[in-house]
Amino acid sequence: MPFSARASTYRIEAAPTGRARCRRCKQCLPKGELRIAIIAFVRPGRSTLLYRCARPACIDAAFASAVLAVYCTAERVPVAQGVSDEDAAQIHVTFEKAASCVKR
């Protein structure tokens, strides 16, 4: 029986440990650094967790467009507990700037 793929979901959070790596720049994400968690659909009942650092260099136009395709606006991207409103707003602005580079 075929299944339909679901869109990935995203969340802004602080790294609880220093073990994760950014999927774009491949650098380790130090403990406490802001990152974007990507919950990617694999198959029914399965998903995988990937990360991107929240640096503007790692939030490119294609990634920002994918995030905004799911949430419509940057302000709707979920933010985990422990992330300040100022930090979240800064990342929201980065998403909007990066996505504005792509014609829809």
List pLDDT tens digits, range 67-98: 999 999 999 999 999 999 999 999 999 999 99
Q: Tell me the CATH number at 87.
A: 3.30.1740.10
The reported pTM is 0.88
Structure tokens at 12: 């802004």
Is 3 within a domain? no
Max CA separation in the chain (angstroms) = 46
How many domains does one find in the chain? 1
In a domain, 81, yes or no: yes
**Domain membership of residue 62 as a residue range:** 9-99
Hey, what are 25's tokens? 């720049």
